Structure 1
Amino acid sequence: MPTLDTFRPEPGTLPTRDEVPARYKWDLTSICTSWDAWQGSYKQLDAAIAAFPAFQGTLAKGSGQLLAAFKAMDEMGALSYRVWYYASLHYDQDQRNNEINARRQQVQILFARQAQASSWFNPEVLAIPIETIRGWMDANTDLALYRFAIESLFHEQEHVLDEQGERLMSFAGRFNSVPYDSYSALTTADVKFPSITLGSGTKVTLTYGQYRAVLETNRNQEDRANAYRIFHQTFADNQNTYAALYNGVLQRDWFHARARGYTTTLDAALHGNNIPTSVVENLIAVTKQGVEPLRRYHRLRRRVLGLSSYRLFDVFVPLVEHGARYPYDEVGAWIVDSVAPLGKPYQQNVKSAFDGQWIDVFENSGKRSGAYSAPVYGAHPYMLLNYNETLDAVFTLAHEMGHSMHTLLSHQTQPFVYAGYTIFVAEVPSTLNEALFLDLMLDRARSREERIVLLQHAIDSIASTFYTQVMFADYELQAHRLVEHDQPVTADVLNAIYSSLLEAYYGDVIDREELSQFTWARIPHFFSTPYYVYQYATCFASTARLMQGIRSTDAGARQDAVNRYLNLLKAGGSDYPMNLLARAGVDLSQPETVSAVSAGLNGLVARLEAELTM
């Protein structure tokens, strides 16, 4: 990895974007070379949208016309990636920039027009008998490329409205993002981050990144409690506003579900990917039956930390002193090494991401919080980080790299129509990359303290990626059922649901903290992507199954597992996710796939207990 212009922001500081050297910032010219080029792509997309209605009323004429319409849809879709992400990624660099936000909103308005211009397409395709279209596909190999897309559309036939209904639904598109956009403005663009003075006398501004750093690294319980309470107080002070925004999400989802004839919002969320609702319901039920290893871990933590009270702000701090910081320039080479089991081509792709400025590394003033991988079709993936040199930040980098490699392999292998992949599969490569990185770090651990820190991280990953996400899914399901049963949605009601879930999952091992009931208000996924979080848990279970093969001591079995895994990444969205996972060797319909996670956690806790008693 390059080492020139090394930049390491001090903990507790927030640099301006100009203070961050260029090589730690993404280079968006692979999307568009300039705003003028972006404007040209925008006009090209606008023209394609305007031209698309010319296909209306012609699809039944034959395979050639249907194929031409599909290709036109692909052209609009490919342009949409460039037009959206160039504006969106620029905005996320500094969400205070109203000029770029206006361009981003301009694209959203164009997308609403695109939805309106194409709202007739699905009803018109569905008006053609499926056997007729199958005959066309059998005779036309170019049209046969769209077989899964067409078959899956007919799978949803009963929930596709007539032309007038679809047009009406398209008008609602402009409102769909309002709750989350409002939430994002409230929590990022307009937020005034509070500051605290630590016991050491250091003053820290509690941005999202610095708040996490205090909880993960500060061994003074009073400092952690102070940071937690002040940070969450901002959500408590605005709880009614957050409740109103979340009610907007719930009501929107229920409107869409009822308008399309679904029984519940969960049905609506899962039907398109052909996932039975029992997968989510059983995930929640089986996980609740397997919470004892999680509680065992927290009882161990309380004892080792010597705390008379143990609250949610105590669950991240390391069990032993191991004050390592992980400079970004060193970690990149480790991540490249960690993916060696997946083969040299995969490793080279990872190295390209580091060398090619695909990553926006450090937190800066105005930058969006969190981390993500943006799947920019026609360019390459981009990663946003808020890297702070903690162990959690290191694994977040490995996680987002997994997403990016999934995108890269899918885009390289699949035609545009299948280049995207479903959320249900998306978190498998991210969590698998983390598992590979953990293996490498444990192999290289040079001390008992380092092994303890890494074991804690592995356990914390299960707690956060599996148990916490199932708890969040439980929360979402209960909240959506409020509106489905015509129940009021208030801050008090939402707080009560969250409090009851903390009790159900943690029991009495974590002492009650009044402000914890407001935690739901700071979970962006609730507002941006409902019914997303359960898939972290199903993907974690899938990863556990895949890693059994990749870690096999039998060379043939190991290579077979790697091949099946890489084929999963290359498959993109070319089949239903349960089918793709089944080909990779994962069956999520079996409770044992889920319960195996709690069994694995129990083994890790036992190993940690042994290390701590040495």
Structure 2
Amino acid sequence: MTPILPDERLRASFHSTGALRWSAPVQSKIPCWRPLCAAAVLACLSGLSLHAAATQPTTRVRAEIPAEFRWDFSAIYPDWAAWEADMRVMDTQMQAFAALKGSLRRGPAALLKAYRAYDEIGKLSYKLYRYPQLQRDVDSRDQAVAGRLQRISALFAQFEAATAWFTPELLALPQARVRGWIAATPALQPYRFTILDNFRRQAHVLDEKGERLLALAGPLGQAGDNSYDALSTADIQFPSITTSDGQTVVLSPANYGALLERNPNQADRAAAAAAHVGNYGKTANTYAAIYEGILQRNWFLAQARGHKTTLDAALHANDVPRSVVEALIEATRAGTAPLQRYARLRKKLLGLDSYHLYDGFLPVYRSSQTYPYARARELALESVAPLGPDYTAKFRQFVAGGRIDVYENEGKRSGAYSAGVYGVGPFQLLNYNDTLESAFTFAHEAGHAMHTVLSYEHQPFVTSDYTIFVAEVASTTNERFLLDTLLARTSDPRERFVLLEQAVDAIVGTFYTQVMFADFELQAHRKVEQGEPVTTEVLNGLYAGLLKTYYGDALAHDDFYKFTWARIGHFFNAPYYVYQYATCFASSAQLYSAMTTGSEASRKAATERYLTLLKSGGNDHPMQQLKKAGVDLSQRSTVQAVVDQLDALVTQMEAEAARIGSR
């Protein structure tokens, strides 16, 4: 599934009071991006045996699904009365914090008091938000829960207004004086990174009048996002086609994806792709006008804050150099040979005269294997053994029951995610259906959950929340460990091919496709920065050109795919976001290699560095955290590790295909 964009927009607003680094609860709701598709004391869980049967329920009635496969909300609050009581507590704490305005100049004790007060409110916010949000996500029909969620969202907005004084007041203090306070006050050490990082950002903070003007312009800046959402969701009419067997299919995103994956008739897949993607082309001029407005907004904000480019502005918060994204794109463009080789292999094995993008979803071989939840849980637990007994024990405790909402039910939201509650731990949402894809999704989300467990255990609240820049490292690393376990369990070439195809598709979807997207939006932004027009024709040309750059002649290039940019919500709702999926994947590839190759001593050292990364939360800039773990994203070798990994996997696929053909 794609990242949860409404939460991404909330996250941006919650970080406006950056000097306090308050990680609002949505920050640690780590969404799942997978190609087909942010000290926690965990309560004593049910002790459910990992060997218990876990057959997918036939019912979609939530109350009829066994309790061990549903969330236990009592770890957050025993009931709504307790939630209401904490709502009143938070209101009192907010008023007390607002009363601290003007106190920071009094010295380190006053600064410490403000940060500690903010921490208490932040911890409480996690519980207040998650309790209704999680319940809303498993039953969106419950209007009482929806109303409570609106109440807490309104309370957050009030708090943002009540604390707007803090950042300007902190930055008005001489930095040297504040550094002296930190050095002389041990209790301020947990806040050192947060405080000094805000002074780093100070060069791009405007005066009070300027910040007020930008704040007033905020709603105008959301107009493009909102227009895109309305056009692509509320107002869109999906086309229908009649397939070769006489069935009429309405090509909604879900139906479209299912048809490409399951329909063996290439003509049907071609007709579906032309109709679905071409549907966006019918209103491409409107999409282009919206996108041009978003690009202009981003360039305006970058210039207003004194950044040289929109990319610099987007990377500033995490202190990521522009060269990281530029090098990522350059190295990936140079490493497309394995991607094209994979496309040619699929064309050959599928027996196609020509290979198109719409052929990329059809499995070459189908497996009769099923992966009931109990089996997937055991496999995932077995697979993380290389991370050591402590990690394994914590993993076992997490999956024991109450923290994973496993199966689909009526009213439950789709997809998968991991959501943290500081002081309680992570909660994981699934819609498990016994497929290999579900097994990998479980391992992926469990990687996020364990990242949260380790971060909460080892970090104070102020630095407990990790950035998206490192979040997908833990999830994709766990997927690779699961792949190793599954491959070790079978010698059947067909089953091994299916597993390898799963891994390769992950690289294609999470790395190459995301870099291509990042390449597109960087080029589009640069056109605006250089005063060049951004029309439908220009955007179509950019996207079609990138498809040819990345796939070369391994792909037959259909003209209608030039409109694909119009259906990529990230371009409109979260500019300069997708590159992080690729950097995370590149990081995990290098870390995995270090943990699984070389001498025993080097593997052990690499594993310790990796676990230290997971324990570090947000206590440093993400580039520095990854460097400590052994990954330097400024070096092309990091990206090359992904290229090499794909090349090796395709080689394995060719070998397994040869074994299948010789039978």
TM superposition score normalised by structure 2: 0.83
Q: Secondary structure at the match of 2:318?
A: coil
Does residue 577 (structure 1) correspond to residue 622 (structure 2)? The answer is yes
CA 1:47 to 1:245, structure 2 compared with 1: closer, same or farther past 3 Å? Answer: farther
1:277–1:23 Cα change, 3 Å: same
Deviation, structure 1 residue 44: 3.3
The reply to whether residue 75 of structure 1 matches residue 120 of structure 2 is yes
**Distance in 2, Cα, partners of 1:352 & 1:173:** 44
Distance 2:194 2:591 in 1: 27
Amino acid at match of 1:584: A
Quickly say closer, same or farther: Cα 1:62–1:591, change in 2 above 3 A. Answer: same
The one-letter code of the counterpart of 2:71 is W
Code of the aligned partner of 2:192 = R
Q: CA 1:126/1:589 → structure 2, altered by over 3 Å: closer, same or farther?
A: same
Q: CA deviation at 1:418?
A: 0.3
Cα deviation, 1:447-499, whole Å, max 9, x if unaligned, reads 01011112222222221121111011112222333443455655554444322
Residue equivalent to 2:56: 7
Residues 208, 369 of structure 1: 8 Å contact kept: no
Question: What is the alpha-carbon distance in structure 2 between the residues aligned to residue 418 and residue 373 of structure 1?
Answer: 18
The answer to whether the aligner puts 1:293 opposite 2:342 as a matched pair is no
The one-letter amino acid of 2:170's match is V
**CA contact under 8 A between 1:112 and 1:171: conserved in structure 2?**
no
| Corresponding residue of 1:161 | 206
* 1:484/1:62 CA distance change after superposition, 3 Å: same
Which residue in the other structure is 2:19 paired with?
none
Aligned to 1:354: 399
Q: How many residues of Structure 1 are paired with residues of Structure 2 in the alignment? A: 610
Q: Per the alignment, do residues 490 and 43 of structure 1 end up closer, same or farther by CA in structure 2, a change over 3 Å counting?
A: farther
Q: Distance in 2 between matches of 1:241 and 1:95?
A: 32
Matches of 1:208 and 1:27 in 2, distance apart?
A: 32
The whole-number CA distance in structure 1 between the counterparts of 2:566 and 2:389 is 43
1:565 aligns with 2:614: no
Q: Is the counterpart of residue 322 in structure 1 residue 367 in structure 2?
A: yes
Structure 1 gaps, min length 5: none
Gaps of 5+ in 2: 1-49
CA–CA distance in structure 2, aligned partners of residues 231 and 90 of structure 1: 34
Task: Report whether the alignment pairs 1:398 with 2:464.
Answer: no
How far, CA to CA, are the matches of 1:175 and 1:76 in structure 2? 30
CA 1:250–1:30 in 2, change beyond 3 Å: closer, same or farther? farther
Aligned residues: percent identity?
Answer: 50
Query: 1:85 touches 1:376 (CA, 8 Å); kept in 2?
Result: yes
Q: Distance in 1 between matches of 2:153 and 2:531?
A: 31
Pair 1:577–1:225, CA change in 2 (3 A): same
**Residue type matched to 1:276 in 2?**
P
Partner of 1:257: 302
In structure 2, the CA distance between the partners of 1:230 and 1:338, relative to structure 1 (3 Å rule), is farther
> 2:539 and 2:323 mapped to 1: Cα distance?
24
Shift of 1:289: 1.2
Residue identity matched to 2:526: R
Matching residue of 2:157: 112
Conserved? CA contact 1:112–1:173, under 8 Å: no
| Aligned residue number for residue 21 of structure 2 | none
Cα distance between partner residues in 2 of 1:46 and 1:165 = 30
| 2:483 corresponding residue in structure 1 | 438
* Secondary structure in 2 matching 1:382: strand
Q: CA deviation at 1:148?
A: 1.0
Instruction: Name the SS of the counterpart of 1:78 in structure 2.
Output: helix
Please provide the CA RMSD for this pair: 3.3
Contact 2:251 2:272 in 1 (8 A): yes
Q: Which amino acid aligns with 1:411?
A: Y
Q: 1:418 aligns with which of 463, 466, 489?
A: 463
1:371 is aligned, of 404, 407, 416, to: 416
Report the AA paired with residue 424 of structure 2: A
**Residue number in structure 2 paired with 1:336:** 381
Tell me: higher relative CO, structure 1 or 2? Use CA pairs within 8 A at least 6 residues apart.
2
Deviation, structure 1 residue 575: 1.0
Return 235-244 or 346-355, whichever deviates more. Answer: 235-244
Q: Distance in 2 between matches of 1:387 and 1:346?
A: 24
CA distance in 1 between partners of 2:252 and 2:389 (Å): 39
CA deviation profile, 1:358-386 (whole Å, cap 9, x unmatched)? 23334556544433222332322222334
Q: Distance in 2 between matches of 1:341 and 1:28?
A: 32
The amino acid of 2:345's aligned partner reads: L
Displacement of 1:268 in angstroms is: 1.4
**In the superposition, relative to structure 1, how do residues 188 and 38 fare at CA in structure 2: closer, same or farther (>3 Å)?**
farther
Residue 523 of structure 1: how far off its partner (Å): 3.4
The C-alpha deviation readout for 1:61-111, integer Å capped at 9, x for no partner, is 110101111112222322332333334334444556666555545444433
Deviation larger for 439-448 or 27-36:
27-36
The more displaced of 307-316 and 195-204 is: 195-204
Aligned 8 A contact 1:456 1:608 in 2: yes
